[in-house]
Structure 1
């Protein structure tokens, strides 16, 4: 399928509220005027069950319809976690077993979907507060060790916190070392790192973290307190951040775009889950804080692939897509990791790892089942390469799905505790691309997000399929392993 076809979204959302209201943090918080009045009582037939979160998609994205849905949520025994009138999505929470069915009967509602299969933890009455440290939270009811899926494939090799730029093979591979002779990037450019948090006082990152633009989105509603967006159980986000923009300061390493700013938008909880409400909040918060680029080194749980033939999964995918398309319509370039399952995303057959928050089942999947956000329209999907230029053995692939490739094997970057370590994964490839886009935005500040993406593709260096392979298809200029090719940081700043 031609890329221009696949990457042009046909999804449209009315933006009445957004057009009437300037973007800002206040736009993410329901105002007193929009607050639903207390419900007279639960809906008839209310039976208390497990506490669940839901994505509710409204037929028309405007203030009036949003208010009606908020009232319907309350009447059905639920509460509003967050409302996004500009995209017609309400995140709600309820323990009413008939909640989804009740909302689906509302004329203003297009679709409703549960965002997880495990119950929301009920041991903490202040679940809506998005600071896990403040709640003393550990795991949100995680059913057991997650052995089928991790955000990255890690190498435990660690290094002391001393200058390591000479060891960054990845920067040389994409010409970042040469690009830095031209520019390190502009402070006007902001990259939102949607991940597990960034260590705010890491000596190689602190100067480039925009604390005012950082927040936790774990509850589905942004919390901008400093503690909320700090990493707690994972150094994944800190590692990703170092690749994007570790500072040029005479210590440690140097990122692809060491002169740009980053925001830490925490969407990965302490158990390693990235639920839809967190990701939606992350995309919307990135827009509200003026981000130019987002990096998304994850797939959204609990389904590795969200399928259209399931009402809940289809509704959630719609809600996430609305947030993604809205951000892209506002000029944001969203970059995402392709995934680490060595799967041909263009020819899916079976998923045996989902749902990963309860008990996985083996199910057939097809083109109607997508890894999100990586496979959503307009998102830059990134595969991983090794130091020899080959596709990393773990990297997902697929003709017409992969957009570009970048280094992702044995990547040295920052980790929590102020140090450095190596990791492997498409999670490590994606931030290289986010960094190159940040350099492109620095060099061409007036270009739209779509134009920047087109330049990224045009400047990528073609990499043909390996000789003798049967799984890589397509020409050197656009194939299933490397997409348009290996990203080129030097070309970005010329």
Structure 2
């Protein structure tokens, strides 16, 4: 890109900006084909500008970092920094013109590097000038993603056996026969937070020190500062995140709720309450790659988790906004586990990011091995690939809640952490597979229990209702062990 391309918007006069704004508004109303720059502006941005003087938008740059060399880097810390440094270098090399333009107009700019984008609030004239820049690919509205609706059941009382989902996928048999309970693996969730003092979760929290005190640096992130300013300790003002974390690692003796109870956990509050803003999700995605102190300083890529569970998503399965985030996680060796969505039973209802080829998405079934009616179906809008990838227990799943107790709820949000916990068992039992996502997915796929359903297309062994079938943690660990 030439220096002239960077300088041009800074020299636009006030009258020129006014004319550009007028041209922008006229072109959006005219039936003729839009100008190339107008075609970069999403329709909902234009709609917002019809009713508001300004819109909060992401200015997405064309340039993307080349992360193809990451898998060749064998050291965990070095591989993490390879990915982070490539992403940051690309953002720094290409965002300068956009940020300078915004600064010249007195507008705030929040840069991101996991997606090469700048977040700002701008009027129609500024948005039009931004879209005209050759390095800009798209102007996208900042959105808020609602958490998938869940169905509450009864809390129930602890029994003498693990919860039904753990028994169903045979995780308890993994504990008994292989002596594997997830030790050495760190899981994370991007969710509503976690009640870190919960009896089923406090000893598994990576921030808990041997003397029983806590250090939340590198273990907790709250980008929207919902838990306080500054956010000094984890909180969960919803319950959803405490529940999904419990299904991954929870246990307090009497309550055996977690698939991998010896794994450690960290968390990012990407969902402010019952919804998740794009800002918080992207910030959390960056933190997952390189966790920081609670004030956002001193990132350390070597402290990133091995697995991240994402029980959130947009109903629009074709939304590719988060794809760069998932691709970066995969490049760094983080297993990206997602819920498939709760918009079933119609075909093609899978949500994003679970719909991405890089994401491993889970559908939900009940204690009788019947697929949940709400479980979103494929195919994915991305190449019509089969989605979900697999299905797991997701109906009336009892786990930890943010009041210190337990609650049974339903949703693919509950199914996804069963899969994340299973990956923790696999990687704990077979450390040679650690960060080998391409080698781990076929193990999950090939050991799943085939469940035929041709309603939305596919085969007996791989279809758009069940994916590869029902999750079998025991068979997966057995195969991984060779």
TM-score normalised by L of structure 1: 0.70
Q: Note the residue ranges of structure 1 that are not aligned, 5 or more in a row.
A: 1-38, 118-145, 308-316, 349-369
Q: Which of 273, 277, 280 is the aligned partner of 1:278? A: 280
Match of 1:251 in 2: 254
Map of 1:417 onto structure 2:
403
Q: Supply the distance in 2 between the matched residues of 1:318 and 1:429 (Cα, whole angstroms).
A: 23
C-alpha change, 1:253 and 1:70, in structure 2 (3 Å) is same
Gaps of 5+ in 2: 1-9, 22-48, 66-89, 208-217, 292-303, 380-385
- Cα 1:489–1:428 shift into 2, 3 Å: same
Aligned to 2:236: 231
TM-superposed deviation, 1:487: 1.2
The number of aligned residues is 379
Give the alignment partner of residue 451 of structure 2, picking from 443, 446, 463.
Answer: 463
Partners of 2:102 and 2:422 in 1: CA distance: 43
- The correspondence of residues 173-252 of structure 1 with structure 2, limited to 5 A, is 173-181=168-176, 182-211=178-207, 212-218=218-224, 225-227=231-233, 229-232=234-237, 234-247=238-251, 249-252=252-255
Q: Is the 8 A contact 2:115 2:325 kept in 1?
A: no
TM-score (norm. length: structure 2):
0.72
Q: Does 1:408 align with 2:394?
A: yes
Alignment of 1:46-61 (within 5 A): 49-50=53-54, 52-61=56-65
**Hey, which of these two has a bigger chunk of helix by percent?**
2
Q: Which residue of 1 aligns with 2:33?
A: none
Query: In the alignment, is the contact (CA less than 8 A) between 1:76 and 1:103 conserved in 2?
Result: no
Matched with 1:478 is 462
The answer for the alignment partner of 2:264 in structure 1 is 261
Which one of 400, 409, 413 corresponds to residue 427 of structure 1?
Answer: 413
* Correspondence 1:157 to 2:145: no
- Counterparts of 1:116 and 1:42, CA distance in 2: 31
What is the correspondence of 1:343-354 to structure 2 with a 5 Å cutoff? 343-346=345-348
| In 2: Cα distance, 1:80 partner to 1:209 partner | 34
- Taking the aligned partners of 1:381 and 1:42, their CA distance within structure 2 comes to 50
| Equivalences for residues 323-342 of structure 1 within 5 A | 323-342=325-344
Distance 2:11 2:160 in 1: 64
Q: CA offset at residue 337 of structure 1?
A: 1.0
Distance of 1:266 and 1:422 partners within structure 2? 22
Distance in 2, matches of 1:445 and 1:297, equals 26
Q: Distance between the aligned counterparts of 2:135 and 2:97, measured in 1?
A: 7
Deviation by residue 1:211-242 (Cα, 9 ceiling, x = unmatched): 4322123489xx98434x4112x101101111
Q: Which runs of 4+ in 1 moved over 6 A?
A: 39-43
Going from structure 1 to structure 2, the CA distance change for 1:159 and 1:50 (only over 3 Å counts) comes to farther
Question: Which structure is higher in strand share?
Answer: 1
Q: Report the 3-state secondary structure (helix = DSSP H, G, I; strand = E; otherwise coil) of the residue aligned with 2:108.
A: strand
- SS of corresponding position for 2:109: strand
Question: What is the deviation of 1:50?
Answer: 4.1
Query: Using a 3 Å threshold, how does the CA distance of structure 1 residues 288 and 185 change in structure 2: closer, same or farther?
Result: farther
How has the CA–CA distance of structure 1 residues 318 and 426 changed in structure 2, closer, same or farther, with 3 Å as cutoff? closer
Report the alpha carbon displacement of residue 262 of structure 1 after superposing the two structures with TM. Answer: 1.4
Q: What is the Cα deviation at residue 442 of structure 1?
A: 1.2
Instruction: Give yes or no for contact 1:387–1:407 (8 Å, CA) kept in 2.
Output: yes
Pick from 94, 98, 110: which aligns with 2:125? 98
Give, in angstroms, the shift of residue 74 of structure 1.
2.4
* CA drift at 1:493: 2.7
The alpha carbon displacement at 1:373 in A equals 0.8
SS of 2:248's partner is: helix
SS at match of 2:409: strand
Judge conservation of contact 1:100–1:113 (CA < 8 Å) in 2. Answer: no
Relative to structure 1, the CA distance from residue 377 to residue 281 in structure 2 (aligned partners, 3 Å threshold; closer, same or farther) is: farther
Partner of 2:166: 171
Name 1:15's counterpart in structure 2.
none
The structure 2 residue matched to 1:114, chosen from 122, 141, 162, is 141
Shift of the alpha carbon at 1:253? Answer: 2.5
SS at match of 1:286: helix
